[in-house]
Structure 1
Amino acid sequence: MGSQARTVCWFLLSLRVSAELSESSNFHLAGDYLLGGLFSLHANVKKPVSFNVLEVPKCKEYEIKVLGYNLMQAMRFAVEEVNQLSSLLPGVRLGYEIVDVCYLSNNVQPGLYFLAEDDYFLPILKDYSNYVPHVVAVIGPDNSESTITVANILSLFLLPQITYSAISDQLQDKQRFPAVLRTAPSANHHIEAMVQLMLHFRWNWIVMLASNDDYGRENSQLFSQRLLRHSEICIAFQEVLPVTDPNHAMGPQQQEALDNIFSKLQWSTARIIVVFSPELTLHNFFNEVLRHNFGDVVWIASESWAIDPALHHLLEPHYTGTFLGVTIQRVYIPGFSEFRLRPAEARPPIPNGTNLRATCNQECDTCLNTTEYFNNVLMQSGERVVYSVYSAVYAVAHALHSLLRCNQTGCAKDVVYPWQLLKKIQDVDFTLLGNRVHFDSHGDMLRQLDIVQWQWGLGQNPFRSIASYDLIQKRLKFISNVTWHTVNNTIPVSSCSKNCPRGQRKKPVGLHPCCFECWDCPPGTFLNSTDEFNCHNCPSSMWSHKNAISCFKRRLSFLEWNEAPTIMVFILAVLGFLSTLAILVIFWKHFQTPMVRSAGGPMCFLMLTPLLLAFGMVPVYVGPPTIFTCLCRQTFFTLCYSVCLSCVTVRSFQIVCVFKMASRLPRAYGFWVRYHGPYIFVAFTTAIKAALVVGNMLSTTINPIGRTDPDDPNIMILSCHPNYRNGLLFNTSMDLLLSVVGFSFAYMGKELPTNYNEAKFITLSMTFSFTSSISLCTFMSVHDGVLVTIMDLLVTVLNFLAISLGYFGPKCYMILFYPERNTQAYFNSMIQGYTMRKS
């Protein structure tokens, strides 16, 4: 205990409590264990009064508060019902001491009275563990301000205090208020229910009015903090309501403040007004509301006045808009409506008692008459806060049942210390009238909330439930429709800006996110339902049109079998495969003939085998690319083609070397023949090409990717890697070099003997290869997409055909149709004729 708390404690203990019971108190019931009750039976000061320090308020100075009397009757009803239940506290009789706190005027004195012993004294002790106060627990008071005042006293003694309608979140602080529990949800739940209500009806432009007291300031702050966490709702403006007494005329400053508020309300486009204020402060406010025309607004009532019969009666003959409020869920209590109007029973005088009929502590001569007047409203509105009082009494009774070790026949009437009973109350868990009574770690009992609408008319429920709020799921459940005081019963609209059309994002204007302009979402973006202020980019494989709320998959573009270019190229590939296979068979059968030997001998098979395999692998270009097909495209085809070009190049070099350089460089020629120069050259160039291919693959990737078609963003072009064209140009560079070298050697040997003169065929093949590669590079620099793939495949197939048919075709023609020219004698005669001409 801190020094400040210790000082307060010693100060309280030094006071002598002078509050004694009346002789025939209607608010006292003798019993083995007494419960203290704090209720506001009177409120609304009739005229200005000055209170002496030790003087309690007098009843004649206040008006009756019918709800307070109704709640007090609920405590009496619950206690008497518990006493009649032999199974709960058999052999034990509960009693009560109920005190009128007069709303806010009489809080400290009843608290001291409950803490005192039976002789009305508080002893000064060092340890109060074994101290027994006048009551074992306290039920009440009703509002948060009074509850906090009383809790600061009772918590020092760990005397259990169960409040039935104080919702302040300060009471959840168990360091300050360890003995406080409550049977009503905290303010956060009420705030969230309001927010969910406004979100349901899409009200995002509201006015907040809060009274200039602790209740108004705390709840308005909680509401503002809730809206700051989520920007779905904006406050157009907020004002402070002056705190006035209902029976007193307002001063000039208060009247000016109200006039300023009503001026803003008439000017504002916000039609939803949230009011956080105690019910007493609102009487003068709504008297002013009646003077203005506010039939199109919706009033959102906080729990303090959501089911107040006095305010409901004040507004009954008028139409001032639609009233919605957040309150505790209704629970029907059998027999309570009849008990509420039961006249008081005559009780024997209390020994040594002092009559305090003039004070608000114990007497209420007119309470019963007032209750009868409002009985219709009380019955139709149902037992809401009444059940909170009812369940609080039963919570204490169940705790006593456990503490006194009760069984079916009786209980041990032990001395009950406050701290012992507090622990038992915190652990209670039972079902009462279909509802679970249990306190969480904050000392709160989770009860469902209702959204009620005010109604006027004979036989109507003045506070009709239109929805319920689930505290666990934090979700509003609508159970009926609302009757709006608008034209054609339409839902009121309250927004700073009109909703944007489908697919348009909101651009904030000013400080409020609820005030905005509407902007189109461009193609390729979409508006997410969870973020109305930003257009999000579609994934790379998807696209969207203008003002879209979702993306669709792009149409995949790749070479397909049913396309005419594919069929044409495939026919050429089949033709190439069959012709190459035929050439291979012909050369194999005529391997020893001069025609095959002059074409290159074994090197012919080194050229024909890659050609045959390449023609057979053409289908890897068709269909969606995969890792395997990309690997084949980037390695297999280019290596096969390079092997063929290397063989053609070295063959053209050999022809020139045999007939022009053998005589001039015999040693070099012998070295070339001895060490198989042609094969070394082919292996060397193939290795260089393989290194280039591997380097290109390592610098990019072989995984297939999709690229947006620059001409049509709806199309996704599937290719092997992002730098497909650059990689293709890079791989083609060496093929171009080999083509140029082969063409040069072939041109140098154009005057050789006819049978050995392969220059014109090599020249034709190399010229075609060079021009086709240049054409492909030019085409790729201009076009993109599937056209590049089909052109790449077409050029590859044509190059292979140029080698297969252009180089080997004429030789096969000679072998098959001119066998007489495929003899050694014929070749020798051609060489002799060439030599004689040169001589």
Structure 2
Amino acid sequence: MDGDYVIGGVFSIHTYKHIGMHNYTTIPEPQRCTGRIDSRKLRFSRAMVFTIEEINNSTELLQGIKLGYQIHDSCGSVPLSMQVTFQLSNGLDPVIFTSNNCSHSGMVMAIVGESSSTRSISMSRVIGSFNIAQVSHFATCACLSDKQQYPSFFRTIPSDQFQAGALAKLVKHFGWTWIGAVRSDSDYGNNGMASFLDAARKEGICVEYSESFYRTHPRSRIQRVADVIRRSTALVVVAFATSTEMRILFEELSLQPFPPRQWIGSESWVTNQKMLKFSFCAGAIGFGTEQSVIPGLREFLLDLSPTKVAASPVLTEFWEDAFNCRLEKNAAIGDSVCDGAEDIQTLQSPYTDTSQLRITNMVYKAVYAIAHAIHNAVCQDTNSTAQCDKFTRIEPKQVLTQLKKVNFSRNGYDVSFDANGDPVARYELVNWQKSESGSIEMVTVGHYDASLPGGQEFHINRNLTWLEGGTQVPVSVCSDSCPPGTRKVLQKGKPICCYDCIPCPEEEISNATDSPDCFPCPKEFWPNEERNTCFPKPVEFLSFDEVLGIILAAFSVGGACLAIVTAAVFFRHRTSPIVRANNSELSFLLLFSLTLCFLCSLTFIGSPSDWSCRLRHTAFGITFVLCIACVLGKTIVVLMAFRATLPGSNVMKWFGPPQQRMTVVSFTFIQVLICAIWLGLSPPFPMKNLTIYKERIILECALGSAIGFWVVLGYIGLLAVFCFVLAVLARKLPDNFNEAKLITFSMLIFCAVWITFIPAYVSSPGKFTVAVEIFAILASSFGLILCIFAPKCYIILFKPEKNTKKHLMNKNQS
């Protein structure tokens, strides 16, 4: 149709181009289309005609100006797309200027199309050199956003860069990490899949296979792709392909039964109504451009009278194919002739289906965008009206410049272009669901808006149906998730989604699913059996509540009671010869010190604290020195007493009671001084020992200064050895009540106990270190009280006839 300004249109109304034979001896026949008409693409071209007529009838846009159009069929072929591009660039008619009535009908201001990315790339490389704007309704390749290569390209459908990112987020949203991928072997499929795979890799998604094919490939290539899908373990298949390629693939897959697959589709095929016939794809999901309602379009599409049909070869072919008859002018002998009773209102065809106006709406917006650009170039806005001059001569470059600035709303949708010629990316999430009648229908279940902040672009507002009509989200992973308590170890030679789950080491945990590493618990915590959480380590010390602590405490109290009872017996018989002969003052002091020795072992039981740690070692050291000093004093008294019986000896006056007291006090004061220095410089303190046992904490008293501890212990040992030597020297002195023999045995036991204590103390773990120390205290204390006082108590209580001075002086013996 002619007009003041002409808009070009290129649509793939036919699917194939006729391939002629070239013998290089005759002129090649003109290129022509073949195959059946794609009634959906025919609807696109008719929508362009409808939009231009709507604009021509508008009083708001291009008032007084008539737009014309030239619409061509590219047959889905790059060569034919190039041919019609040159025709639109050059003009089909000569431009004639006569006085004031001039026509620019031969000059195309802009072009709507193409449907394919590959053909749009070819077209844009040509018309970009002439500054002719191209607005595509269906070319989504992200590569076309490169303004260096395609400076005059615009589109009303979002770039695949956004769709690829949205598909990757969709796959991640449902937890699928193991997928298959198929694509068209074209610019649309290859670039779209490349963008998707890049986005999927960032989301941690792995691809089992990635296959490409094209409609013109031999069937063996299509069969190979189908076999890969059948044999794969990935349950989810992402298909970035055109509807033509997917129809060929689905037809091949339908020939043999195969395991169900969850299909994730790109906009090109997942919103194509003709694809819904493949029932095994029920549950497919994907993104589609937003659908719209275009008032009056359906009536326009159905307004096909026989006259209009006969005037257009394309409409004629569509009509004859739809009703399986021939118009009278095309009828041959034997053909069924169209009788005029055909009713397009009853025709079930993508041409008449206006329930899902998605790409059709993109055509509608593309024509309006060009019209607004022409309006801004030739019209002057004054107040509330615009003055348009149809005789204004404009160049396509001016339309291209104005197209970059357009910003308007139509049918509730905003139309504008960014610096790359792309619109704002908004999608509907569609799901193929089975209706009650058993047919598959396309249902919008969510939305995606790339203009929203990160993390808020994706929204699902309805339940989805999955493969085989299921309601549960299918699982498609290479390896099952590793539960807490394990870590992922990648399988050699496989993608990162294929891994083994290895339990965490003994001292480490993982508290998250699919944890790549295990981490150690804090020092005072220990993993549970499942290795998925840390719990506080049990604190261990020798307590009064456990059997060992009760036994040791009982012996300690029992020993103290035994010492008190012995002291009571000695006090009751303090005037008897056996008590008086054995230095009763030192005996009572020795019994008192033994009582303290027994009781000081109680400070080793219970939870260590600052005071108990300082008291236990110092009390032990001082009381034992007091005890040994008393024994040493008794030993010296025995020796001195024997010396005093010799004629002329005056030695006892040098070791009388005052000297004995001074000896005990002196020896004890040295130990008190050692303990005071120890406590002043580096005293013992409570500590948590985390090294002996990994799984529990030993609460113990640290020595503070190990030197102080061993000096205290060494001083006790020195006195014990000195006492033992003196007792050995006095053991054969002729006295019936000579204590030297008893002291020798007691010191022998004492030294044996403490000599064995040292290696036992060093090697005993945890609370048993304390138990060994208590045992040594009790054993040596019992050794002293039993060896020194038990024989005397036996004579006092059971052999009183021996408790006489006569027996003491050994008068009865020859």
Question: Under TM normalisation by the shorter chain, which class is it?
Answer: 0.5 to 0.7
Please name the residue that 2:141 is paired with: 168
Q: 2-side partners of 1:744 and 1:793: how far apart? A: 19
Aligned pair in 2 of structure 1 residues 502, 764: CA closer, same or farther (>3 Å)? same
- Are 2:460 and 1:477 aligned? yes
Q: Does the Cα contact within 8 Å between 1:203 and 1:272 map onto a contact in 2?
A: yes
Q: 2-side partners of 1:120 and 1:645: how far apart? A: 129
5 Å matches for 1:222-301? 222-226=195-199, 228-229=201-202, 232-235=205-208, 237-244=209-216, 254-265=218-229, 267-268=231-232, 272-294=236-258, 296-301=260-265
How big is the shift at 1:650? Answer: 7.7
Deviations along 1:764-818, whole A, 9 cap, x unmatched? 7996698379558637735x45x43763795699699999x989xx9xxxxxxxx
**In structure 2, which of residues 404, 425, 449 is the aligned counterpart of residue 446 of structure 1?**
425
Please name the residue that 2:405 is paired with: 424
Q: 2-side partners of 1:46 and 1:161: how far apart? A: 23
**In structure 1, which of residues 409, 412, 415 is the aligned counterpart of residue 384 of structure 2?**
409
5 Å matches for 1:94-493? 95=67, 97=69, 99-100=71-72, 102=74, 103-105=76-78, 106-108=80-82, 139-153=112-126, 161-177=134-150, 180-195=153-168, 206-226=179-199, 228-229=201-202, 232-235=205-208, 237-244=209-216, 254-265=218-229, 267-268=231-232, 272-294=236-258, 296-312=260-276, 316=277, 320-322=280-282, 324-335=284-295, 337-339=297-299, 341=301, 343=303, 373=347, 375=349, 379=353, 382-392=356-366, 409-411=384-386, 417=398, 420-421=401-402, 424-425=405-406, 428=407, 433=412, 439=418, 443-453=422-432, 462-465=441-444, 471=450, 472-473=454-455, 477=460, 479-482=462-465, 484-485=467-468
CA RMSD of aligned residues (A): 6.7
Q: 2-side partners of 1:402 and 1:204: how far apart? A: 50
5 Å matches for 1:577-588? none
Q: Does the Cα contact within 8 Å between 1:147 and 1:166 map onto a contact in 2?
A: yes
After TM superposition, the structure 1 stretch with the greater mean CA deviation from structure 2, 500-509 or 320-329, is 500-509
Deviations along 1:83-111, whole A, 9 cap, x unmatched? 8887x869696946464361344545666
Q: Does the Cα contact within 8 Å between 1:206 and 1:270 map onto a contact in 2?
A: yes
Q: 1-side partners of 2:29 and 2:712: how far apart? A: 111
Q: 1-side partners of 2:669 and 2:421: how far apart? A: 89
Q: Does the Cα contact within 8 Å between 1:538 and 1:544 map onto a contact in 2?
A: no
- What are structure 1's unaligned runs of at least 5 residues? 1-21, 122-132, 245-249, 346-356, 581-594, 622-628, 710-715, 811-832, 835-839
After TM superposition, the structure 1 stretch with the greater mean CA deviation from structure 2, 651-660 or 449-458, is 651-660
How big is the shift at 1:511? Answer: 3.6
Give 3-state SS (helix, strand or coil) of 1:327's partner: strand
Aligned pair in 2 of structure 1 residues 743, 279: CA closer, same or farther (>3 Å)? same
How big is the shift at 1:748? Answer: 4.9
What amino acid maps onto 2:37 in structure 1? I
- Are 2:771 and 1:791 aligned? yes
Q: Does the Cα contact within 8 Å between 1:158 and 1:422 map onto a contact in 2?
A: no
Q: 1-side partners of 2:57 and 2:616: how far apart? A: 99
Aligned pair in 2 of structure 1 residues 780, 679: CA closer, same or farther (>3 Å)? closer
- Could you tell me the TM-score, scaled by structure 1's length? 0.61
Q: Does the Cα contact within 8 Å between 2:179 and 2:476 map onto a contact in 1?
A: yes
How big is the shift at 1:167? Answer: 2.5
Please name the residue that 2:99 is paired with: none
5 Å matches for 1:549-568? 550-551=532-533, 553=535, 556-559=538-541
What amino acid maps onto 2:718 in structure 1? V
5 Å matches for 1:646-725? 681-682=670-671, 685-686=674-675, 689=678, 705=690, 708=693, 716-719=695-698
Aligned pair in 2 of structure 1 residues 649, 689: CA closer, same or farther (>3 Å)? farther
Deviations along 1:29-81, whole A, 9 cap, x unmatched? x56xx7x45441423225214899x9998776565333333334555666676
Percent identical among aligned pairs is: 17
Q: 2-side partners of 1:550 and 1:477: how far apart? A: 34
- Could you tell me the TM-score, scaled by structure 2's length? 0.63
Q: 2-side partners of 1:575 and 1:434: how far apart? A: 98
- What are structure 2's unaligned runs of at least 5 residues? 96-105, 306-310, 323-343, 564-582, 641-649, 790-807, 810-814
5 Å matches for 1:726-765? 733-748=710-725
Q: Does the Cα contact within 8 Å between 1:179 and 1:422 map onto a contact in 2?
A: no
How big is the shift at 1:743? Answer: 1.0
Count of aligned pairs between the two proteins: 705
After TM superposition, the structure 1 stretch with the greater mean CA deviation from structure 2, 321-330 or 150-159, is 150-159
Deviations along 1:730-754, whole A, 9 cap, x unmatched? 875444322211212333565699x
RCO higher in 1 or 2 (8 Å CA, sep ≥ 6)?
A: 1
Aligned pair in 2 of structure 1 residues 497, 66: CA closer, same or farther (>3 Å)? same
Please name the residue that 1:47 is paired with: 18
Aligned pair in 2 of structure 1 residues 682, 282: CA closer, same or farther (>3 Å)? closer
Higher alpha-carbon Rg: 2
What amino acid maps onto 1:328 in structure 2? G
Q: Does the Cα contact within 8 Å between 2:239 and 2:264 map onto a contact in 1?
A: yes
Q: Does the Cα contact within 8 Å between 1:160 and 1:421 map onto a contact in 2?
A: no
Q: Does the Cα contact within 8 Å between 2:8 and 2:111 map onto a contact in 1?
A: yes
Give 3-state SS (helix, strand or coil) of 1:450's partner: strand
Q: Does the Cα contact within 8 Å between 1:484 and 1:490 map onto a contact in 2?
A: no
Q: Does the Cα contact within 8 Å between 2:408 and 2:415 map onto a contact in 1?
A: yes
Q: 2-side partners of 1:311 and 1:164: how far apart? A: 20
Deviations along 1:485-521, whole A, 9 cap, x unmatched? 48x9998776667888997777766643589696673
How big is the shift at 1:173? Answer: 3.5
Aligned pair in 2 of structure 1 residues 576, 422: CA closer, same or farther (>3 Å)? farther
What amino acid maps onto 1:212 in structure 2? D
How big is the shift at 1:570? Answer: 8.0
